[in-house]
Chains A and B, each alone.
Chain A
Amino acid sequence: MFPFQIRPDQALSEIQAFGTKLSRGLRTLNEIGDIDVGCTEKESVYTEDKLTLYRFKPLVEKLNPVPVLIVYALVNRPYIADLQKNRSLVRGLLAGGLDVYLIDWGYPDSADRFLSLNDYINGYIDRCVDVLRKRYSLDKINLLGICQGGTFSLCYSAMHADKVRNLITTVTPVDFHTPQDMLSHWVRKVNIDLLAETMGNIPGEMLNWTFLSLKPFRLSGQKYLDMVNTLDDPVLCKNFIRMEKWIFDSPDQAGEAFREFIKHFYQNNELVKGEVMIGEKNVDLENITMPVLNIFATDDHLVPPAASKALRKYVGSADYSEIEFPGGHIGIYVSGKAQQMIPPSVTSWLAAR
């Protein structure tokens, strides 16, 4: 049979409907006002260079006595963890009685060109941890790492096990050579030393393109067309633009840290080999003996589940748990399903430890 049964009158009405939705969409865009991100009240408790350590205002009176420090990635901005009231990992954790802190790395510029992984992990993160230990008169605090921040948290916990009580990693790459790791496959043969030497800092725009290139048809085309159908709803429209704002809000990467991360983690897969050196310290995942909760997403196209699940094999902890989230890399923080699943799981897991 002839498969194309697109009648001209139907096609015309389809096109007309599309045009009408676009018109209404423009009206909606005019009505929605400014796009705000980061919904929860917070205060700065420590600053250093471009880093700011924030404390979120607690939502309940009785708090878990051990604070949680969220270590965000260097890529994109941390407000994805607190995007809007009904899509906020932070609010969920606060509601569960946790005392939540977050590291905002800021926007590195050319003066930060030689910030190394040692400066980030044994420097900035360690000092933030010390701030909290002192503030609460505790030897150990809880760490929660997001994506690359999770990898940093693993390195930190392996080198400073005496300062970490519990470790939570979310969509965190551990084994960088799993078969479905597209990013790893792409950068394997790139001369990263030359790239970093030539570019200095790595432009955020380059990372944007890289992430869009993972699914170019859907991410740079189809999703906008899908959005036309909901453009007349101001709430949905605002949510969508808020997400767009986050996607394209990409700080440049400090060249040296980027070079080290790509070379030692993505190209040489040294983390699982126990060969990563951060400064003068070796990172041995066996040293991670505190309780570990590893959360990964089944449809993650940036960090394949296998890349995260590998952690089980390498940590020295006798108390290791996993949560498999049915969604994608970003959905784990902002989807409705995630709000129901992730914060309650984290708070109850911590409460038991």
Chain B
Amino acid sequence: MTDSNPVGNDDWMASQKTFWDAWSQILSQSMAPSPGSQAFAVPWTAALDLWAKTAAPAAPAAGEDFFQSIIRQGKTFLRLGEEFTKLTRNLAEGAQAGSNWKDLFAAKVNELKAGFTHGSASDVTSTLRSLLPFFELPMDVWSRMFSSSSLLPGDFLRSVKPVGLGDVAGQIHEGLDQFLSMPAVGYMREWQERTQGGMRLTMDYQKAQQEYSQAHGRLGVDALERLAAKIIERAEQGQEINTLREVYDLWVDCGEEAYSAFVFTEEYANIYARLVNAQMALKHHNQTAVDEVAGSLNLPTHQGITTLQRRQQELRRELAGFRSLLDPSVMEAMQARLKAQAEALNGITQKKLRTQGESIEGMREKVTVLERDVARLLKDLAALRNGTGREGRGGRIPAKRTASAVSVVAAAGPRSKPAARASTAQKRGKGE
């Protein structure tokens, strides 16, 4: 709470007011205020920094992160104000001395651009860099990800500054590359190969990291060029910049524009992928190395835990499957499905049986007709033998009767053939 803070809000506001009043008085006693006034030498950031340090403990836990974010941005805003007003003072002084402010501005912008690419110690450049959030944010997260399973605490490569390192790093990498290409020999051959592999991955990651940082340095230059162009454009259109906040907002707009243009390029996609892939490859290598040590001490390994996680998930899947089968609604649905299938099957069977029954009945009738015809035929034959036929002994069997017998044989089909053959044999046996 405020009461617990030795430098409470009211105290700070009162002291701040005194501070500003004193400066206002100085200003009013000097020449008429102008953009080139020395008044911009006021150490705003230092004042806020001191207050933030004393006020921070008073911030409630719920809003602490939020408060810190605001203070951080507040400080960068004030730093921008400090540095930018120094710049405008120089420009105003130059203009008063008869120089063209645009030339002076262009020279200053070039100086700032060099700061982004070659790491000059310019205050303005460092302020602008601090306003480029991605200079810190992504690398911070990646290094923490790296660190979480690195053999070394933190991201040791972070201390390797990319600025101006390009050529030197190239030479070092070339030398190391030759060294790492030496074939491994002897009893420790495998260990040596692994070590060489690890060093090569470390170099790859370092290279990708530097590439990433350098790309963002170029992005800073682009943002700065856009800012300069916008300021010149405003001047040409007769638009004034009257507040520090306007400068800040202009810088944010330019930064977002430059960033958006860059991150959509193929180049960025490649740089980003190389950074992530190189980091993961190195981290994976380190995991394997840690696993070997853990395995030799009979401790759980990353690989072993991965296998357990995989098996456990498979078991969970199976369990969920079994549970779903035990659900009453599923059982009911299955029963209903089975019943429907059985009924359908039953219907098909009954229909088939009916059809077959009808077919047998038809055959039976035909057999009956056949038997009747055969009996009649036998009767006719007997009559012929006895000479009691309608045409008398030795007479011919009537053509009508013969045709009838043949047609019956044909209608009876294959099953009737034996009967027909028997009839023929009977005839032959009788010498007919």
Contacts and interface: CB of A to CB of B under 8 A. Distances in A.
Contacts of B317: 119, 123
Contact of B241 (A5, A198, A244): A5
Interface in B231-251: 231, 234-235, 238-245, 247-249
Contacts of B256: 215-218
Interface in A210-227: 212-213, 215-218, 220-222, 224-225, 227
Contact of B66 (A10, A27, A241): A241
B269 A3 contact: no
Contacts of B77: 18, 225
A221 B134 contact: no
Interface in A160-215: 182, 185-186, 188-191, 194-195, 197-200, 203, 205-206, 209, 212-213, 215
A34 interface: yes
Interface in A133-182: 134, 182
A197 B284 contact: yes
B280 to A, nearest CB: 5
Contacts of B72: 224
Interface string A3-47: 111111111111110111011111101101111000000000000
B137 A22 contact: no
B13 interface: yes
Contacts of A182: 263-264
B264 to A, nearest CB: 6
A198 B280 contact: yes
A6 B63 contact: no
Nearest to B39: A8
Interface stretch (A70-78, A80-88, A110-118, A311-319): A110-118
A198 B66 contact: no
A5 B320 CA distance: 71
Contact of A6 (B24, B55, B132, B241): B241
B9 A194 contact: no
Contacts of B283: 198-199
Contacts of A15: 20, 42, 44, 78, 81, 244
Given A114-B309, A221-B131, A4 B81 contact: no
B27 A186 contact: no
A11 B284 CA distance: 53
A127 interface: yes
A218 B327 CA distance: 52
Given A8-B39, A198-B287, A216-B133, A244 B280 contact: no
A3 B240 CA distance: 5
A10 B145 CA distance: 45
B429 interface: no
Interface of A: 1-16, 18-20, 22-27, 29-30, 32-35, 49, 110-116, 119, 123, 127, 130, 134, 182, 185-186, 188-191, 194-195, 197-200, 203, 205-206, 209, 212-213, 215-218, 220-222, 224-225, 227-228, 231, 237, 240-241, 244, 248, 256
Given A23-B13, A110-B309, A199-B283, 16 more contacts: A1-B240, A3-B241, A6-B241, A12-B42, A18-B78, A22-B71, A25-B67, A112-B313, A185-B263, A188-B273, A191-B276, A217-B132, A225-B74, A237-B63, A240-B66, A241-B62
25 contacts: A1-B240, A2-B91, A4-B92, A7-B37, A8-B34, A8-B85, A18-B74, A18-B77, A22-B51, A26-B2, A33-B62, A35-B62, A49-B316, A114-B313, A115-B313, A189-B270, A191-B273, A199-B145, A200-B306, A212-B133, A216-B259, A217-B255, A240-B66, A241-B62, A244-B69
